Amino acid sequence: MSDSEARTPPGAPAAPTAPDVAEKGTRDGERISLDRRLFVKFTACGSCRDVDAAANALERGGVTGALYLDANDPRGIGLVAVSEDPEWFVTTWRDLLTSPPFDAMERKAELDMLGRTYSIGYEPDLEHVLFERPVGRITDPALRWAIWYPLRRSKSFATLPAADQRRILAEHGTLGHRYGSAGLALDVRLACHGLDRDDNDFIIGLLGANLFPLSSIVQAMRGTEQTSRYLESLGPFFVGRVAWQGRGRPPTEGP
């Protein structure tokens, strides 16, 4: 008799199976997995009197991410920072934001967003999907404009049959693919279940060379079944243009 059997009383339920929390993909018809993902933090601030000083502080801090000029606030900025290790956000990133010049700025709490990259299950290259693609887009100098926002689906969406969910998401995805293929807009999609104070489900970053196509895709998405029937909330929206981008530290490296 094994030690585990000796410790389990007769008739007792079997020990629960540990959940598989790895990201899943498919390569050559075989299931693949990777228990790693990238965390992405968006922070907006007002009262920024010296954008260059802010950019220099990010550069010195070895931040991988971007700084945006807020289109709706003449002294506003938006910051995106990425790391595989969530500890980095409560150590290095926290210290950076509580030091000059950021300590003199006014943080816009309603625009705080924290999300994680995720896989859908069919991707053949999980490293690319979870790390290389989002970082590449956030730091691509050709993608000068950005719109970042959270969204929350209605709870009824989760109760739909899987086939209906796939059909609804496919409509949404096809529209996004059309904009991406035309070079008009690319996205960074993040899950934020349990990471968001307002119970949002996802964070979306729309990135492009020009602002209008980013607004256009948001408008076009209004007509999809997901947005019109199964979204509970969308926004608030941050709109900005890149002032700084950097890859000071590999995104998979901790503090």
- How far lies 53's CA from each of 48, 56, 67, 195, in Å? 9, 5, 11, 30
- Residue 30 confidence (pLDDT) above 50: yes
Q: How high is the pLDDT of residue 6?
A: 52
Residue 8 gets which letter from DSSP?
S
Whether 60 is in a domain gets the answer yes
Alpha helices in 120-210 (DSSP H): 126-127, 133-138, 162-181
Question: Of 155 and 146, which is predicted with more confidence?
Answer: 146
Which of 82-86, 166-170, 229-233 reaches the highest mean pLDDT? 82-86
Q: Specify the 3-state DSSP secondary structure of 114.
A: strand
Q: How high is the pLDDT of residue 155?
A: 84
- Residue 7 confidence (pLDDT) above 80: no
Q: How high is the pLDDT of residue 170?
A: 84
Whether 81 is in a domain gets the answer yes
Whether 5 is in a domain gets the answer no
Q: How high is the pLDDT of residue 236?
A: 97
Average pLDDT over residues 13-24: 88
Helix, strand, coil: what percent of the chain each, to 5?
A: 35, 30, 35
* Percent with pLDDT over 90 in the chain: 73
- Residue 219 confidence (pLDDT) above 50: yes
Count of domains for the chain: 1
Q: Specify the 3-state DSSP secondary structure of 25.
A: strand
Average pLDDT over residues 4-32: 81
Average pLDDT over residues 19-23: 92
Q: Which of 5-9, 19-23, 38-42, 144-148 has the lowest mean pLDDT?
A: 5-9
- Residue 89 confidence (pLDDT) above 80: yes
CA distance 20 to 9: 27
Tell me the CATH number at 83: 3.30.70.1030
Mean of pLDDT over the chain: 91
Whether 130 is in a domain gets the answer yes
**Residue 254 — pLDDT band, cuts 50, 70, 90?**
very low
Whether 254 is in a domain gets the answer no
Q: Are 160 and 226 in contact (CB under 8 A)?
A: no
CA distance 85 to 93: 11
Q: Are 22 and 35 in contact (CB under 8 A)?
A: yes
- Residue 168 confidence (pLDDT) above 50: yes
CA distance 38 to 191: 11
- Residue 142 confidence (pLDDT) above 90: yes
Whether 248 is in a domain gets the answer no
Whether 253 is in a domain gets the answer no
Beta-bridge mates of residue 182:
none
Q: What is the pLDDT of residues 62-72, one digit of tens each?
A: 999 999 999 99
Q: Are 92 and 61 in contact (CB under 8 A)?
A: yes
Q: How high is the pLDDT of residue 156?
A: 86
Helices (H) and strands (E) in the chain, counts: 8, 12
Alpha-carbon radius of gyration of the chain: 21
Whether 9 is in a domain gets the answer no
Burial of 71 (0-12, 13-18, 19+ CB in 10 A): middle
Range of the domain at 208: 33-242
Q: Are 170 and 162 in contact (CB under 8 A)?
A: no
Longest Cα–Cα distance in the chain = 72
Q: Which of 18-22, 113-117, 229-233 has the lowest mean pLDDT?
A: 229-233
End-to-end CA distance of the chain: give it in Å, rounded. 46
Q: How high is the pLDDT of residue 160?
A: 85
Average pLDDT over residues 46-57: 98
- How far lies 181's CA from each of 120, 123, 132, 175, in Å? 20, 18, 19, 10
